[in-house]
Chain A
Amino acid sequence: MKRSHVRKFGYIHPPTSKFAADQVSKLAPIPERVVLPLAQHIGKPARLLVEPGDEVRVGERIAEADGFISAHLHASISGVVQPLVTLLSPTSGMPVQGVVIESDGKDQWLEFVPDVDEPFSRKDVIGRIQDAGIVGLGGAAFPTHAKVDRPEGERIHTLLINGAECEPFITSDDRLMIEDSARIVQGARILAELLQVDRIAFCVEENKPLAIAAMRTACDELGLNAEVVSLPSRYPMGAEKTLIHYMLGIEISPGSFPTDVGVVVQNIATAAAIADAVLRGQPMIQRVVTVAGSVRSPSNLIARVGTPACALIAACGGALPGSDRLLFGGPMMGIAQASWNAPTLKSTNCILLLDAPQRIERNCIRCARCIERCPMGLMPQRFVELVKADQTDELDACHLLNCVECGACAYDCPAAIPIVSYIKIGKARVRSLARGGK
């Protein structure tokens, strides 16, 4: 494949630290209680369908999508619904409401209805994806049914299944590809037929040879005409726009989406969840979560959605002394949690414990490493200057909103400037200015 557009800058090579890479995924113990925030996804929070005291079984819908850009929520354990609680969202840090289910210890599952009609009708497939409450599992948590329900006349030529797990420590997608490649291929096939694409490519970095081999074998065995592309191992590779640029040479302008250029990107875990939903009728109730960092035995656990972080850490032998930073996600883009009880979401791929000491912020020395590292071709150094000078209109003119907050700039900043924090402040100001405020 010709890749003359591939740039020699715009990435970093952090230590991969994938210590759980050869740990076979294990079923996590079923927690005594789960907390399921109603806002697990981009869009409106789901509407509650149950009341305190109701008994629910695994897979029962407990909240329904509020509008098209929203997603259903299902009980991930069987038990009794408790009164709603308010907790800090593990993604935004803002107070959100969550459904609590107290386990009855029986783990009774709802009978799922497999789909028997083949070929599936378009409406049926989208309906089943929606019923299963699937959201983008790579981290963005965009409702999947909304992403794949393309308007009449829009042509999607390429489906990229994203197995580029470029964040250090995280191995959940890697393990899923090694252990469950058939499910991923089934999901990809469903998507490809739904979107009528010409080309399917599984994109996996070269530092995951087992996953690449497993995907190739599964494609052969299931007769799916797809490429398995080996990508260079760099960060960020799995970011949607970076991946599309690398794979296809297409640059997506600000405000546009991959579908505008005929491309759909789905995470491999999402593809597997789609297969579960369409072929087996199983909703989104569990996923592989990597527990890594300062834990006794880093592992990959198949955990029910809503399991408290501390329960998963305990299942990995507990935290090592001194670890005081609990993250959901990887070290580059993960979100620090304020509570050991923070529940995993559908999109939580990693629980990471770190004890990295913070460095002191110094003056920018204009070394321009941030500019060289930026995958979006932006000038992070300038954003910091403009945020400090409170020049919000100029920030917008410098395409601040194009930033994907991958953190490559801050990672290699010799002055240890928290560039991403400045950028987040700048984005909030730009958005508030756009809304007419100041």
Chain B
Amino acid sequence: MKGNQKLTLSTAPHFLGRQSIRRDMVLVTLALAFPTGGAIAFFGLRVVWMLATGIIASLLTEWCAKKLRRKPFFMDGSALVTGILLVLVLPPTVPLWMIALGAVFSIGIVKEAFGGLGANIFNPALAGRAFLTVSFAGAMTHWVAPLSTTASAVTTATPLADGFVWTASTSALYKALFLGSVGGSIGETSALLILVGGAMLLAFRVIRWHVPFIYIGTVFIGSWVLGHDPMIQILAGGLMLGAFFMATDYVTSPLTTKGRVVFAVGAGTLTVLIRSFASMPGGVNYSILLMNALTPLIDRYTRTRPLGIPRRQGKKVA
């Protein structure tokens, strides 16, 4: 009867849910809108130009890399997220050409040279920042106070550096760090805005709570043990942004919950150690990159237990 209508064969499952890479990336971008919006408010319109530079350079690099690799270019949104994240972890004064260079490195070397999204070992934005830090140490550690507290860009130090001076009460410092009136990287100033974005990612189940909370918790406990003020340690610097948006990067973090716990504890410990004993700032940056490198190893030892397979000899399963 219906011989004229041809049938298409397909393998099960024959219908798919609404998850897609683009959906994830759009949600991350929307969550990043909170710290990004805050950054524009704190540091002014220059941030818009920085973001535009970062995003355009990222997308162009990806397009060129795909052409060189003879792969189809597809707007999955990952280059967009990398571009925004890279800008958010830079000081507000870096020249635009430096951002573009960082983006070319992030996308071209860290991501595409390893095989594109999914095959990269390191978080592209953080590797890009590390690249810029070692290349241009001066520009990368030039901090200014947010506009909301002072009329002009006054050079300042971050609370994690030795030169930092704070004359008001400690609780006022906590509040300033939480709301975003202390100098730092563009997207790192307001812990509150990052938490709002992170809560959004949690609510949409793009990320799970384990990595950010355990990471931040480890830094809190670790710095308390070493005699630092733990509140300053978790509110200042890149920890919040790193914990919610970088350490949760699917590609470069472990697969299982168990593995993610190991990853978060490791990153937290490294952050405290680098901040306390290393000669360079950037504890969050390097701790996450180091844990990225350990991810394949963590994955190897933190596999799931299949149903019906005993965890170890002796546990009773039928």
Q: Which residues of A contact B (CB under 8 A)?
A: 12, 14, 168, 241, 245, 250-254, 256, 260-261, 310, 313-314, 319, 323-327, 331-340, 352, 354, 356, 358-359, 362-369, 371, 374-379, 381-382, 398-399, 402, 405, 407, 410-416, 418, 420-421, 424
| A365 near B250: Cβ-Cβ < 8 Å | yes
Chain B, residues 11-43, CB within 8 Å of chain A (1/0): the string is 111111101110110000000000000000000
Q: Are B118 and A319 in contact (CB under 8 A)?
A: no
Q: Check B169 for interface membership: any CB of A closer than 8 A.
A: no
Given contacts A332-B13, A340-B2, contact A362 B8 (CB under 8 A): no
Instruction: Please determine whether B308 and A252 come into contact, CB atoms closer than 8 angstroms.
Output: yes
Q: With A253-B309, A340-B2, A365-B251 in contact, do A424 and B11 touch (Cβ < 8 Å)?
A: yes
- Whether B6 sits at the interface, judged by CB under 8 Å, is yes
B179 on the interface (CB 8 Å rule)? no
Q: Which residue of A lies closest to B256 (CB)?
A: A371
Contact check, B24 vs A367: say whether CB atoms are below 8 A apart. Answer: yes
Query: In the bound complex, what is the Cα–Cα distance between A424 and B13 (angstroms)?
Result: 12
Collect the chain B residues with CB atoms within 8 Å of residue A338's CB: 7, 9
A365/B21 in contact, CB under 8 A = yes
User: Which stretch from B87-95, B142-150, B151-159, B298-306 is at the chain A interface?
Assistant: B298-306
Residues of chain A within 8 A of B168, CB atoms compared: none
A298 to chain B, nearest CB (A): 16
With a CB–CB cut-off of 8 A, which chain B residues contact A333? 12-13
Expressed in whole angstroms, the minimum distance between the Cβ of A158 and any Cβ of chain B is 12
User: CB distance A362 to B76 under 8 Å?
Assistant: yes
Return the chain A residue nearest B315 by Cβ.
A251
Interface pair B306/A14, CB less than 8 Å apart: no
Residue B134 at the chain A interface, CB threshold 8 Å: no
Beyond A366-B250, A368-B256, whether A314 also contacts B1 by CB under 8 A is: yes
Pairs A–B under 8 Å by Cβ, sample size 14 = A245-B307, A253-B308, A256-B308, A314-B1, A325-B14, A333-B13, A340-B3, A365-B118, A367-B250, A376-B308, A402-B306, A407-B12, A410-B16, A411-B13
Q: Which A residues are in CB contact (< 8 Å) with B118?
A: 362-366, 415
Per the bound structure, the CA–CA distance linking A332 and B251 in Å amounts to 27
Q: Does B5 contact A (CB under 8 A)?
A: yes
Check A379/B304 contact, CB under 8 A, given A325-B10, A366-B250.
Answer: yes
B281 within 8 A of A: no
B3 CB contacts on chain A under 8 angstroms: 340
Give the docked Cα–Cα distance between A415 and B250 (Å). Answer: 12
CA distance A407 to B13 in the complex (A): 5
B90-118 interface code vs A (CB 8 A; 1 in, 0 out): 00000000000000000000000001111
Chain B proximity of A28: nearest CB distance (Å): 15
Interface size of B in residues (CB-CB distance below 8 Å):
42
Q: How far is the CA of A254 from the CA of B307 in the complex (A)?
A: 9
| B7 / chain A contacts, CB cutoff of 8 Å | 324-326, 336-340
Report whether B117 and A365 are in contact in the complex, using a CB–CB cutoff of 8 Å: yes
Task: Assess whether B14 is in contact with A377, with CB atoms less than 8 Å apart.
Answer: no
Q: Which residues of B contact A245 (CB under 8 A)?
A: 307
Shortest B206–chain A CB gap in Å is 9
Pick from A252, A334, A371: contact of B318, CB under 8 Å = A252
Q: Which residue of B lies closest to A241 (CB)?
A: B307
CA distance A411 to B17 in the complex (A): 5
Q: Which residue of B lies closest to A335 (CB)?
A: B12
Determine the chain A residues whose CB is within 8 A of the CB of B2 once the complex forms.
Answer: 310, 313, 319, 340
Q: Quick check: A413 and B19 within 8 Å, CB to CB?
A: yes
Contact B250 A251 (CB under 8 A): no
Assembly CA distance A419 to B74 (angstroms): 21
Whether A402 and B12, one on each chain, are in contact in the complex, defined by CB atoms closer than 8 angstroms, is no
Whether the pair A363, B119 counts as a contact (CB closer than 8 A) is yes
Q: When A324-B5, A378-B306 are in contact, do A354 and B21 touch as well, CB less than 8 Å?
A: no
Q: Which of A323, A331, A334, A362 has the largest number of chain B CB atoms within 10 A? A: A362
Chain B residues, Cβ within 8 Å of A369: 19
Q: Chain B residues near A325 (CB, 8 Å)?
A: 7-8, 10, 14
Interface pair A14/B17, CB less than 8 Å apart = yes
Whether B1 lies near A310 (C-beta < 8 A) is yes
Q: With both chains docked as a complex, state the minimum distance between the C-beta of A31 and any C-beta of chain B, in angstroms.
A: 12
Kindly provide the distance from the CB of B207 to the nearest chain A CB, expressed in whole angstroms: 10
* Interface membership of B68, Cβ < 8 A: no
- Asked whether any CB of chain A lies closer than 8 Å to the CB of B317, the reply is yes
Name which residue of chain A comes closest to B259, CB basis: A368
Chain A residues contacting B306 (CB-CB under 8 Å) are: 254, 376-378, 399, 402
**5 further contact pairs, Cβ within 8 A, besides A313-B2, A340-B1, A368-B256:** A256-B308, A340-B3, A365-B118, A412-B16, A415-B118
B196 is an interface residue with CB less than 8 A from chain A: no
B176 in contact (CB, < 8 A): no
Inter-chain contact A14/B15, CB cutoff 8 Å = yes
- Cβ < 8 Å to A, chain B residues 268-318: 303-309, 317-318
A430 to chain B, nearest CB (A): 15
Q: Considering only CB atoms, which chain B residue lies closest to A358 in the complex?
A: B10
B52 within 8 A of A: no
By a CB distance below 8 angstroms, the chain B residues around A362 are 21, 74, 76, 117-118
The interface centre, meaning the residue of B7, B20, B255, B303 with most chain A CB atoms within 10 A of its CB, is: B7
A398, A407, A414: which contacts B24 (Cβ < 8 A)? A414
Across the interface, do A377 and B307 meet the contact criterion of CB distance under 8 Å?
A: yes
- The listed residue (A250, A363, A424) touching B117 by CB distance below 8 A is A363
| Interface hits, B211-266 → A, CB 8 Å | 250-251, 253, 255-256
CB distance from B198 to the nearest CB of A (A): 17
Across-interface contacts of A420 in B (CB, < 8 A)? 11-13
Q: A378 and B13 in contact (CB under 8 A), knowing A338-B7, A362-B21? A: no
Residue of B nearest to A414 (CB): B19
Task: Note all chain B residues with C-beta closer than 8 A to A260.
Answer: 318
A354 is contacted by which of B14, B304, B318 (Cβ under 8 Å)? B14
Q: CA separation between A359 and B74, bound complex, in Å?
A: 13
Cα–Cα, bound, A376→B115 (Å): 31
- Output the nearest chain B residue to A403 by Cβ-Cβ distance: B306
Given contacts A340-B2, A371-B255, A411-B16, contact A402 B21 (CB under 8 A): no
Bound: A208/B251 CA distance, A: 40
Contact A414 B307 (CB under 8 A): no
Q: How far is the CB of B248 from chain A (nearest CB, A)?
A: 10
Instruction: Please measure, in the bound complex, the distance between the C-alpha atom of A169 and the C-alpha atom of B114, giving whole angstroms.
Output: 43
Known interface pairs A325-B7, A414-B24; A241-B255 also in contact (CB < 8 Å): no
Bound complex: CA of A326 vs CA of B7, how far in Å?
7
B19 adjacent to A410 (CB under 8 Å): no
Alpha-carbon separation in the docked complex, A389 to B205 (Å) = 31
Note all chain A residues with C-beta closer than 8 A to B119.
363
Which A residues are in CB contact (< 8 Å) with B116?
363
